A and B are shown apart, each in its own frame.
Chain A
Amino acid sequence: MINIYKKIEMALPAIIFALIFIVMMINIVTRELSSQALDWPIEFSRYALVWLTFLGTVYLFRTDNHIKVDAFWNYLCKKLNPKTIAVLETLKLLIVIFFSSFLSYYGYVFSERLKFFSSPSLNISQSYLYIIVPVSGALITLISLIKIYNIFTKRG
């Protein structure tokens, strides 16, 4: 179950990335051949980029791939005892949870509000664009909780 989730979480951003690439090439080729520009590829690519960003964020967060400044933190880890570090580590994750639950709650409120606004060329509801924000926020919250759980079970 968890393995399937991990596979999907990794594959989805890659698939979106590939899709944007293909759609963009279709757009260029059709424009050069028929001298008529399509308008849906640009809108599709923009929406997909938003999805890529927020879905990819979940994968990067779980695998600890986000850019961070760890020089000072590594220094702290050498100086402080393991218990304090575990507390600080939890505190860091709580700050992340604060941010991710903000995204999930207000992201949901915002996408609900846009339910009846549709996009100009694809003609789909704008809430599909924003719904990825609460989804990603909820997943990050969940992963952070699991990370906190791991800190306490490992160091007892």
Chain B
Amino acid sequence: MLILIGMLFLFMLLGIPVAFSIGAASVIYVFLDPSLSETTAVQRMVAGVNSFTFLAIPFFIFAGNLMNSGGITHRIFEFAAVCVGHIRGGLAHVNVTSSVIFAGMSGAAVADAGGLGASTIKAMRAKGYGERVSIGVTAASSIIGPIIPPSMAIIVYAIASSQSIERLFAAGIVPGFLMALSLMVMIYLFSERLKCPDEKKASRKAIWVAFVRALPSLMAPVIILGGIFSGIFSPTESAAIACSYAIILSIIYKDFSYASFKASVMSSVVTSVQVLLIVASANLFAWILTSKEVPQTVSQVILSTTENYLLILLALNLLLLLVGLFMETVAAINLLVPIILPILTIGFGMDPIQLGIIVVLNLIIGTLTPPFGTVLFVLSSVSNTPVEKVTKYTATFLPPLLLVLLLVNIFPALTLWLPEFFFGK
């Protein structure tokens, strides 16, 4: 088993695509172990993506891309600007607020950073905000996207742990708002040091005008989340409806062009396939783990070492943060969940819903740190700033996010209250 994991890391370090690294390492193991059948290995890979629920992933990616190219994101930014732009810290608050709204219709941090983030950075630079706050807040607030539903990472966790997507989606809402709040408090307190100029308060009339302009865009999260939580649509269907809605809006806004539509489709195909192939090979890997009863062995070892819940919690978070540094989120969820889920839920009685948010939050924070910081890479390219600088600016805003992580760990109610409120025990 150590050979398998060793090869996996060696292949990844050499820069072989993550999905191929997982696949090749697993296949070598399948050849070495006569009890594992080669054709079942192929079947496991296909089974990993042969799922109706997974269809939600490409569509939420598509919806985010369509909204970025169709002028919807921009209207949300304008609306947030008149609402919170006058608070000390100005556009930095606008940045966080529009990320929260965008989070309600997009499922990935990179869509937030690459679309909305690009335009917020431009606006903040034009008004003379410091680079640190312009880029750092954009990065930090973009990871609210995968916590507030809909979320790609949460869908992946839901399937890997066979939990209800709806419940997990509901569980992310409170932590997502807490992340926004903690970032805004930090911006407010340090606005002078962060070089945020003062902004004028918008008139009532201006707020109304911006609200009316943005209303159709603001309806997108309502339609998506309302559809899911009321049970009218499955998450997959609501993702498809979000896409149709975005297409219709961009036609109404007269922002629709065939070229940008084609670009949205192509970039959605690329992002989806990246994720789906990783899911396919991770499913093969997870199959080896379970056939060899690795989760049982690991949990026995851990439970015999300590029964201290706090210690386990600490170890869990450190492990996840560490893995998040080096590994792609979707791959990490698929590889780790089969092992950690039984330890924490059966061994320590943690709710799998709370565990889901802890897992996703830890791993998503990892996308803000090198060497595998996807959000950093995207921001570096849209802001024409070297990755090292983006990393430094982003690090400034990590403490509030880590604080929320701590709270989510300590207080199960933060994640469990809302799903119980919506769907009962």
Which residues of A approach B to under 8 Å, CB–CB? 10, 13-14, 17-18, 20-21, 24-25, 27-28, 42, 45-47, 49-50, 52-54, 56-57, 59-61, 65-74, 88, 91-92, 95-96, 98-99, 102-103, 106-107, 109-110, 113, 129-130, 133
Number of residues from B at the complex interface, CB < 8 A = 57
- Report if B19 contacts A (CB, 8 A): yes
Assembly CA distance A67 to B367 (angstroms): 13
Q: Which residues of B contact A21 (CB under 8 A)?
A: 59, 62, 240, 243
Q: Are A28 and B27 in contact (CB under 8 A)?
A: no
Q: Give, as a whole number of angstroms, the nearest-CB distance from A40 to chain B.
A: 12
- Report if B194 contacts A (CB, 8 A): no
Q: Are B371 and A20 in contact (CB under 8 A)?
A: no
Closest A residue to B244 using CB positions: A25
Q: Which residues of A contact B52 (CB under 8 A)?
A: 42, 45-46
Q: Give, as a whole number of angstroms, the nearest-CB distance from A49 to chain B.
A: 6
A-B contact pairs, 9 of them (CB 8 A): A45-B55, A49-B276, A60-B273, A61-B17, A66-B18, A69-B371, A91-B14, A110-B42, A130-B43
Closest A residue to B18 using CB positions: A67
Assembly CA distance A59 to B41 (angstroms): 23
Q: Are A60 and B270 in contact (CB under 8 A)?
A: yes
Stretch at the interface among B92-100, B151-159, B261-269, B334-342: B261-269
- Report if B237 contacts A (CB, 8 A): yes
Which residues of B approach A to under 8 Å, CB–CB? 11-20, 23-24, 27-28, 38-39, 41-43, 45-46, 49-52, 54-55, 58-59, 62, 233, 236-237, 240-241, 243-244, 262, 265-266, 268-270, 272-274, 276-278, 280, 326-328, 370-372, 374
Q: Are B13 and A69 in contact (CB under 8 A)?
A: yes
Closest B residue to A45 using CB positions: B55
Q: Which residues of B contact A65 (CB under 8 A)?
A: 270, 274
Pick the residue among A42, A50, A54, A73 that contacts B15 (CB under 8 A): A73
Max chain A Cβ within 10 angstroms of own Cβ: one of B18, B27, B241, B269: B269
Q: Are B55 and A24 in contact (CB under 8 A)?
A: yes
Pick the residue among B12, B39, B51, B262 that contacts A106 (CB under 8 A): B39
Assembly CA distance A92 to B24 (angstroms): 11
Q: Which residues of A contact B39 (CB under 8 A)?
A: 106, 109-110, 113
Pick the residue among B41, B49, B62, B240 that contacts A28 (CB under 8 A): B240
Q: Give, as a whole number of angstroms, the nearest-CB distance from A67 to chain B.
A: 5
Q: Are A98 and B240 in contact (CB under 8 A)?
A: no
Q: Are B50 and A110 in contact (CB under 8 A)?
A: no
Assembly CA distance A66 to B370 (angstroms): 18
Pick the residue among A45, A67, A73, A88 that contacts B278 (CB under 8 A): A67
Assembly CA distance A92 to B15 (angstroms): 8
Q: Are A50 and B272 in contact (CB under 8 A)?
A: no
Q: Which residues of B contact A95 (CB under 8 A)?
A: 11, 16, 20, 24
Assembly CA distance A113 to B42 (angstroms): 12
Closest B residue to A96 using CB positions: B20
Q: Which residues of A contact B45 (CB under 8 A)?
A: 103, 133
Assembly CA distance A67 to B328 (angstroms): 8
Pick the residue among A49, A68, A102 that contacts B16 (CB under 8 A): A68
Q: Which residues of A contact B41 (CB under 8 A)?
A: 102, 106
Q: Which residues of A contact B277 (CB under 8 A)?
A: 53-54, 56-57, 60, 66
Q: Give, as a whole number of angstroms, the nearest-CB distance from A150 to chain B.
A: 17
Q: Give, as a whole number of angstroms, the nearest-CB distance from B392 to chain A.
A: 16
Q: Give, as a whole number of angstroms, the nearest-CB distance from B367 to chain A.
A: 11
Having A56-B277, A130-B42, one finds 4 other A-B pairs with CB under 8 Å, namely A14-B265, A24-B237, A67-B19, A113-B39
Q: Are B14 and A73 in contact (CB under 8 A)?
A: yes
Q: Which residues of B contact A102 (CB under 8 A)?
A: 27, 38, 41
Max chain A Cβ within 10 angstroms of own Cβ: one of B39, B233, B272: B39
Q: Give, as a whole number of angstroms, the nearest-CB distance from A97 to chain B.
A: 9
Closest A residue to B240 using CB positions: A24
Q: Do A14 and B266 form a contact, CB below 8 Å, given A28-B237, A66-B18, A69-B15?
A: yes
Pick the residue among A20, A28, A52, A106 that contacts B273 (CB under 8 A): A52
Q: Which residues of A contact B38 (CB under 8 A)?
A: 102, 106, 109
Q: Which residues of A contact B327 (CB under 8 A)?
A: 69
Q: Which residues of A contact B272 (CB under 8 A)?
A: 17, 52, 56
Q: Do A66 and B19 form a contact, CB below 8 Å, given A14-B265, A28-B233, A49-B50?
A: yes
